[in-house]
């Protein structure tokens, strides 16, 4: 099964990273997590995933 | 409603701070958008879901699961498909008190968790506040609540309910003794059945005492029952009484599952 992707975007980088670490430790979840602190990064992830 | 497949190759789930103005957020396309807010006054765009930013990771994940678990395929959406190599239910019990039963059960669980997905459940009347288990958070009461709901995604919700001791996952005990006494054997069996069918766990460890109602029904579904004892006459006499009672009540099948273990105490 293909993993779903989940993006956390927050200017508070420490918050986004901590939330991502929490989700990634749940190994049974089929989620790929990425973080960013800039909205333009979300848009580029969006484009990459859409390729 | 959750749309995990709306953007077939885009972002499925986006958690984004309310610090980004709605106009900017609107440029981001994702199947489901959660806005991380610090107060209730934030303006939301259509289709966005507000979640309080500073709640625990468990609660945030539960928000995602609840939002996206309306469909029957929710577990297929989130959970990795794991082929279980085995399915085993191990009961831990002793008619002798203060014998180190819970310590033994946790040691066994940690050892088995090196090779398999193991879940430890404490069904004792007084499992302890703190002690072996982290204080606060969700308990076996919450797991029973989800198990009683036919349409709940128990396997998925478990990911937000379990605690961890190394690779061993555990569910914290019920905090009110009267609550655990009120759980019927039928409820226990339903919980066990759903855990085995819907979760990732291959081995369940049930740490029990005589406060569990209809305990023989639970013994019956166990693959093996480890019975802790001490090497002294009084402990031996209690264990003998337990074994003889099983025979007297016609539970020879349960008696055959007993595995004696001497306590390290």
Summarize pLDDT for B209-226 with one digit per residue, the tens: 999 999 999 999 999 999
The tokens describing A38, both together, are 């800039």
Q: How many CB atoms lie within 10 A of CB B248?
A: 9
The tokens describing B62, both together, are 């539960």
Cβ-based contacts of B36 with chain A (< 8 Å): 10
Point out the residue among A11, A29, A30 whose CB comes nearest to the CB of B19: A11
Are B12 and B31 spatial neighbours (Cβ–Cβ below 8 Å)? yes
Determine whether the interchain pair B13/A22 forms a contact, defined as Cβ–Cβ distance below 8 Å. no
pLDDT digits (tens, 9 = 90+) for B31-47: 899 999 998 778 889 88
- Could you tell me the fold of the domain covering B88-262? Rossmann fold (3.40.50)
The tokens describing B112, both together, are 């088995």
Q: How many CB atoms lie within 10 A of CB B168?
A: 24
Q: How many CB atoms lie within 10 A of CB B28?
A: 19
Burial of residue B175 (number of CB atoms within 10 Å: 0-12, 13-18, 19+): middle
pLDDT digits (tens, 9 = 90+) for B229-242: 999 999 999 999 99
Cβ-based contacts of B84 with chain A (< 8 Å): none
Determine whether the interchain pair B19/A43 forms a contact, defined as Cβ–Cβ distance below 8 Å. no
**Which pLDDT does position B2 carry in this prediction?**
55
- pLDDT at B8 exceeding the cut of 50: no
Cβ-based contacts of A44 with chain B (< 8 Å): none
Determine whether the interchain pair A7/B81 forms a contact, defined as Cβ–Cβ distance below 8 Å. no
Are B144 and B191 spatial neighbours (Cβ–Cβ below 8 Å)? yes
List chain B domain ranges: 11-78, 88-262
Instruction: Indicate which of A2, A5, A14, A45 best probes the interface with B, i.e. most B CBs within 10 Å of its own CB.
Output: A5
The tokens describing B2, both together, are 């959750």
| Residue A29 φ/ψ, nearest 5 degrees | -85, 135
Determine whether the interchain pair A39/B82 forms a contact, defined as Cβ–Cβ distance below 8 Å. no
- pLDDT at B6 exceeding the cut of 60: no
**Which pLDDT does position B234 carry in this prediction?**
95
Cβ-based contacts of A22 with chain B (< 8 Å): 57, 61
Average pLDDT over chain B reads 88
Q: How many CB atoms lie within 10 A of CB B34?
A: 21
Point out the residue among B11, B19, B80 whose CB comes nearest to the CB of A30: B80
Cα(B119)–Cα(B124) distance, integer angstroms: 16
- pLDDT at B72 exceeding the cut of 70: no
- pLDDT at B161 exceeding the cut of 50: yes
Query: Is A2 part of the contact surface with chain B (CB cutoff 8 Å)?
Result: no
Determine whether the interchain pair A28/B36 forms a contact, defined as Cβ–Cβ distance below 8 Å. no
- A residues 13..42 contacting B (CB < 8 A): 15, 18-19, 22-23, 26-31, 39, 42
pLDDT digits (tens, 9 = 90+) for A1-51: 567 889 999 999 999 999 999 988 887 788 889 999 998 988 888 877 655
Q: For residue B29, how far is the Cα from the chain centroid?
A: 35
- pLDDT at B199 exceeding the cut of 70: yes
Residue of chain A whose alpha carbon sits nearest to that of B22 = A39
Point out the residue among B7, B24, B77 whose CB comes nearest to the CB of A39: B24
Determine whether the interchain pair B82/A28 forms a contact, defined as Cβ–Cβ distance below 8 Å. yes
Quick one: what percent of chain B has pLDDT higher than 70? 91
């Amino acid at each position: 099964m293909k993993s779903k992707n989940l993006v956390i975007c927050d200017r508070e980088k420490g918050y986004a990273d901590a939330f991502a670490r929490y989700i990634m430790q749940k190994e049974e979840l089929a989620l790929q997590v990425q973080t960013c602190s800039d909205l333009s990064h979300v848009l580029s992830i969006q484009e990459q995933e859409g390729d | 409603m959750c749309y995990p497949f709306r953007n077939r190759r885009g972002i499925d789930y986006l958690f984004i701070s309310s610090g980004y103005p709605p106009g900017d957020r609107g440029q981001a396309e994702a199947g489901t958008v959660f806005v991380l807010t610090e107060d209730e006054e934030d303006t939301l765009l259509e289709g966005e879901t507000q979640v309080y930013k500073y709640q625990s990771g468990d609660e945030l994940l539960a928000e995602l699961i609840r939002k996206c678990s309306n469909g029957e395929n929710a577990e297929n959406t989130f959970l990795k498909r794991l082929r279980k190599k085995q399915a085993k239910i191990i009961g831990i019990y002793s008619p002798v008190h203060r014998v180190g039963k819970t310590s033994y059960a946790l040691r066994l669980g940690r050892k088995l968790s090196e090779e398999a997905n193991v879940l430890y459940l404490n069904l004792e009347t007084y499992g302890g506040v703190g002690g072996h288990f982290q204080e606060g958070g969700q308990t076996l009461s919450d797991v029973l609540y989800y198990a009683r709901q036919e349409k709940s995604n128990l396997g998925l919700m478990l990911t937000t309910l379990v605690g961890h001791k190394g690779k061993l996952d555990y569910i914290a005990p019920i905090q009110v003794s009267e609550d655990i006494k009120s759980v019927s054997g039928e409820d226990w069996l339903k919980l066990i059945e759903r855990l085995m069918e819907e979760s990732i766990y291959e081995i369940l460890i049930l740490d029990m005492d005589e406060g569990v109602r209809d305990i023989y029904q639970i013994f019956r579904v166990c693959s093996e029952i480890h019975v802790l004892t001490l090497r002294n006459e009084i402990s031996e006499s209690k264990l003998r009484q337990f074994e003889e009672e099983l025979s007297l009540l016609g539970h020879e099948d349960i008696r055959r599952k007993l595995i004696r273990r001497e306590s390290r105490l």
